[in-house]
Structure 1
Amino acid sequence: MFKKNVSVLTARPISGKDVKELKRKLRITFPDLSEDDADHFFPAKAEVQILKLKNKATAYTCGNANPLFFDPDGRGDLLVPTVYALCKCPQIIETLYTYSEVSPKVLGGADLFLQGLIVPDGGLGDFSAGDLRAVSVPGNPYPFAVGTMEVGSGEIAKTGLKGKGLKLLHFFGDQLWGLGDKSSPDSSFTLTRIFPVMASSDDDPDAQIEECLLSGSHSVSDGELPMIASDFYAKHVLPAKAEGASIDIKKTSYKKLSKLLSTFEKKGLLTTKVIHKQDKLTAVNRGHELYTAFAPKEQAAASSTSAASTSGNKITVTYSYRVPTSLRPIFDLDADKDTLYSEERVCTLLKGYMEREGLVAGKGAIKLDKLLVGHLFKKKEPQQEGDPHPFEDTLRRLLDKLALFHTIARASQEGVIEVVGKGAVKNITMSMDDRMGGRKHVTHLMHVESFGLSADELGAALQRKFKTSCSVAKLPGKTETGKEISLQGNLLQELPRYLKEEYGIDAQYIDIKKKGT
């Protein structure tokens, strides 16, 4: 229920009396939660906040830290521990186990099917539909997801392990997790897969190299690109390894740097190109979910911002897709026309469609059916129904047929402001006029509304900040709804710094051009 962006509408402290009532409810709901455990979550005299979220859920934090418990519908009927709470106190609810290889589907937001459960020697135990269960992988003591059972143990005894088992409420890497400091309990937790703890070091180096690459994608700036691939690996990927750890790409399943980069290029995170016979990293998709959901260790450790913000004064930009009616059969059957899907979710659902319709055609291939041929290929292309086709190319064609949307989340004093728009993000535009033979300058600022800013309010703030005259006027054109801010003086260097410091708007979202005289 937290797959989409979840903004905080309000955040307010609750009284000491309400904190005591909250602890009482927790001890009733979770009999294995001791009084000391409850006090550990919500210490005496610490400020406990209740967050009201856009999707009607509520969440509880302590001392402006991580969300610890949430109520899915906000009515007070159910309290559910977050992954932050479960990693501190995993015994408070019973745990189901699934295979590490299945965890990517759960991390993509998919409900857990009964076929994906590992049944211990003593069985799954007794439970009813609606009971809470955590999800872990064998060899890892930390749960990475939580949900409610779709069926009871009695029904499973009659019908067997078939169909949906657990309705997913919350998982590591989702938007509720993103309201916290984005820390993980162990290096075995990655955004794409959960590994056994013992396998997260020397026995399974893939997780390490993937985490280092994600960290490297954060540390490399757009100004450094294009960069020779080997330099990116040496200067940004390897330095991200844990202290005292050693990483050898030859000991991973990737074997070569080119294959590692190619894998993440197919995911849409990186762009590479051969320039003058050298492999170079040319771009990082900073709006990609793998990028926005990943917090480098030093960033997570330094984070002490309120759970009511996105990440301090930084904005987050995520992209998603809306599905036309003609392609709806590939997606959730109950999805409405307003449902937005991440790229990873589209990939997961396409794989589900492939398995559901019997279209698996060997490793990395999908057997085309009438729907796929009719909507993803041009009439003059040779592909026909029944032909095998590379899955990655099929996914790319599918994404091209979907309507692209972007969501910008920005922290403010009123909470998190979300702006959803069609297509790619429309950058802020800055320009400057030279007047009177270069003796007078006027700096213009446009499209600030794209980032949830009011041109009138921002203009007044800039006037005070730079002590200059300012005017705000509607942009010309019948289709234009935004305004232009005009400031006396040459502020092309000062304005980007101000927008970065005050609103977290990076230079990549600002286009600067100088007008002619």
Structure 2
Amino acid sequence: MFKKKPNIKPLSPLKSSDRRRTADHIIADFGLEVPVDSDVDPEDKAASAAGLTALRKSLLPENALSARFTTTAGPDLKQVSGTVYVGSHEGTGDEPRILWAKVGETMYPTVYTLWHNPRIVPLLYTPSFVVQKLQGGADLMTPGLQRGPPFPKKATKGAVVAIASLETPSVPMAVGTCAIDVSSLDKVQGMKGHAVQTFHWAGDELWAWSSSSNLGSDAPAYLEGWDDEKEQAVALASQTAALDLGDDGGKIALNAGPAERLAAEKAQGVEGEDPPSLKDSFELVEDKELSQKEIDDAFRDAFLYGIRHHMDHNKDQPSFGLEFPLSQSKVMSLLVQPFLPTYTPARTASLQIKKTSWKSIKKFLKYMDKQQIIRCKDRDGNEVVIMDIDFRDRQVQAFVPYRLPKKDTPTAGSANGKPAAPLSAESAVGQKLKLVSLLRPKEKLAPILNSVKADPRGLYTPAELKQILITYIEAENLVSPKNKRLVNVNPQIADSLLGSSAADNAALASGTIPRDALAERVVAASSPFHSIIRNDADAADSKPKAGAPPKVQIVLETRSGNKTVTKVSGVEPYYIAPQPLADELRKTCAGSTSVDRLQGSSPKNPVMEVMVQGPQKDAILKALEKRGVHRNWVEVVDKTKGKKKG
């Protein structure tokens, strides 16, 4: 519901009586058990009420504020109004966050309340990839329910429930209401329809709200109060005890035939059902560009992946092959960039450190230090270095590697107009390129070309076009007998090549024009085309492209005061993949690099721009030369000095 930012009116303090009454309603609505100290004298009313007072404070702290809000929900954007309750839990030091949201008569806890109050609502489980879909606004479908049946008894239709992932089962990440009676389900295989309608999740606008405009707090890695391993063990034992292990009822042999499989399906009560599909676990929502939370998660996961990669591949080396202290550029090149899920150009454009909530690698490392995964310190006041990594950290140990993107990505069309073969980092290095400039005569030159039986719509090199002009002059006997460098002007030349300029008027008056000047007019009266021939490709098979040959752009700019960055774009026509080029420059220049869509380029056919920290023009030129790009095909613009270099 809160994918879009709600309109929240000014906060006002919550009266003590209203706070207690609201907390009591929550306790009653959710059927919470008030803790009682058995050692307390029942006659001591103050001591007996201590448990209730503590529960009230935990649910709704004494510093709580409230405000009305309005938002829209559903495909018809129906207006919804309610009340939010803001506060911070005592002793945590956290800034005030939205703890509850009331819509109609229903109070919904936010994830911040769930992280401090275990077991106040039933907890359901689903795979982590489904949780990610829920955090995009999807609803949980019945096939997505895991760790059951049996499911929690309180998860009845209309009940408020929390949702956690199987991979992090002790941390609720979403809140919603049961669309069906989940508690009565005896199976989910083959079932269809909504199970939980999502109301709020970690990452939405309720989570992100704060009076100081800071982004929401990150989810903890583990919460002891929500850990139900003991209950799961008991449930598993009871299910196991109920099985009849004396025969093969319900089991399917690996070599089972159709009849045996049908009998097994009957024994399991799933006769004729299709196997469950992961796509049925959630309701798909429109997939747009990556949200900031998705970008944050990608960088965090890439960092954890980088650590695990070194642990798995350098087991016999001290610190798993990592030499401390690790600079920011080393962290990006060794532990982050190679492990980002840059599967498509659009994702590559999104997955940039500047698009995270941290905005810089320095703040990202400080965040990881706060998570106690690493230990870092400031160096020289300008950067942060990693002094140590906790390789035994729970998040590192529990990390599950994902599929990495392939380095081979198509970057340029082939010469004949068909899709080019995928280019790898190595395929561009050492390639030989030939740039062919061509000209197509414009319509006004058709009489001259037709006179010498040349194709008026053909493509010619400048030398070939000049030779056609010479053939025409000789065929028409236009060479001046007094000066062979001069050409007599006839009506065709006058109509096709001469205009109203002073030089042309002088030529018309004298009746002659220099041959070189006439050749320049033929070239000027033609449209440019070009072909870029790679390696041993036949130029005759190429399909020339309109326009002048493109130039690779190298731009030096100043950012953040006196910091210089170097950008390079336009490498795709030269069969160069931007990402492998960035990877090489990161190592060569010992600095961070990024690949982003060039501002102004089409999202459907993006031109990618590689950015390198520092004044790295020479390093980029060398990298381009290794890939067959001639220095004359590159244009360098130095904005740090306000002048242009050829």
TM exceeding 0.5: no
TM-score (norm 2): 0.33
Structure with bigger gyration radius: 2
* Higher RCO by CA contacts (8 Å cutoff, separation 6 or greater): 1
TM-score (norm 1): 0.40
